[in-house]
């Protein structure tokens, strides 16, 4: 397994995977990213396309990613993560709406847990899920980053980071 480090307005991002397939996108200051650096070989050329797409996203030039992904996870988690990819750029949804879309409106907590275990931040846009009352809820990269990403996608001026 390999990893690459990409700069972003929100801090360094670590892309990890194997043979050009992305299996993880994490902010470098996360505990998971720190384990990746210890276990994988650094190769900043290994994920050139994913890095270029992330940079284009942050520049406001890309609204939909097209990279090869392998998320792992349970069948239910993969269904949730696939539903996340379907949330349009600049839009948000709620855990309840995602649960209903997946066929079980009572699965709100399970959807929330799967969302929180998303291994491919930004590309699989878990930041686009908010609380039923419109409030920002948990985000592995921290709520200030979530707020920044949502403002960025809506064309607003993101908060200074």
For 13, 80, 87, 107, 113, the CA distances from 76, given in Å and listed in that order, are 26, 6, 17, 11, 11
Give the mean model confidence (pLDDT) for residues 60-71.
95
Print burial letters for 95-122: b (CB count within 10 Å at least 16), e (below 16).
bbbbbebbeeeebbebbbebbebbbbbb
At residue 157, does pLDDT exceed 90?
A: no
According to CATH, what is the number of the domain 75-153?
A: 1.10.10.10
Q: Is 97 a catalytic residue?
A: no
Query: At which residue do the structure tokens 């902010």 appear?
Result: 27
Q: Are 148 and 109 in contact (CB under 8 A)?
A: no
> Tell me, what's the pLDDT at 31?
72
CA-to-CA dists, residue 128 to 66, 86, 94, 121, 150, angstroms: 18, 10, 8, 11, 7
Q: What is the mean pLDDT of residues 96-109?
A: 96
CA distance 149 to 141: 11
Give span(s): CATH 1.10.10.10, the chain: 75-153
Alpha helices in the chain (DSSP H): 31-39, 48-58, 75-85, 95-101, 108-116, 143-153
Mean pLDDT calculated for residue range 96-112: 96
Assess whether pLDDT exceeds 60 at residue 89: yes
- The per-residue pLDDT for 37 is 62
What pLDDT is recorded for position 72?
Answer: 94
Tokens of 61: 């030039």
pLDDT of residue 73: 96
Q: Tens of pLDDT along 108-136?
A: 999 999 999 999 999 999 999 999 999 99
When pLDDT is cut at 50, 70 and 90, the band that residue 138 belongs to is confident
DSSP conformation letters of 131-157 = -TTS-----TT-HHHHHHHHHHHTTS-
Instruction: Give residue 3's pLDDT band: very low, low, confident or very high (50, 70, 90).
Output: very high
Tens digit of each residue's pLDDT (9 = 90 or more) over 12-65: 999 999 978 999 999 999 876 667 667 789 998 999 999 999 999 999 999 999
What CATH number does the domain located at 2-58 have?
3.30.160.70
Residue 161's CB: how many other CB atoms inside 10 A?
Answer: 10
Domain with CATH 3.30.160.70 in the chain: 2-58
User: pTM of the entire structure?
Assistant: 0.92
Q: Tell me if 138 sits within 8 A of 116, measured CB to CB.
A: yes
pLDDT at residue 16 in the model: 94
Give the active site residue among 46, 80, 114, 126: 126
């Amino acid at each position: 397994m390999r990893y690459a480090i990409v700069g972003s307005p929100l801090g360094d991002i670590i892309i990890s995977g194997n043979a050009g397939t992305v299996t993880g996108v994490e902010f470098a200051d996360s505990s998971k990213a720190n384990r990746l650096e210890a276990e994988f070989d650094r190769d900043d050329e290994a994920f050139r396309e994913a890095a270029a797409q992330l940079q284009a996203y942050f520049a406001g030039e890309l609204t939909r990613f097209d990279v090869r992904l392998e998320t792992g996870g349970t069948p239910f988690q993969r269904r949730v993560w696939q539903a996340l990819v379907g949330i349009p750029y600049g839009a948000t949804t709620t855990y309840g709406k995602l649960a209903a879309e997946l066929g079980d409106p009572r699965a709100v907590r399970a959807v929330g847990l799967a969302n929180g275990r998303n291994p491919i931040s930004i590309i699989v846009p878990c930041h686009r899920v908010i609380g039923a009352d419109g409030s920002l809820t948990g985000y592995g990269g921290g709520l200030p980053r979530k707020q920044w990403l949502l403002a960025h996608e809506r064309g607003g001026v993101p908060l200074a980071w």
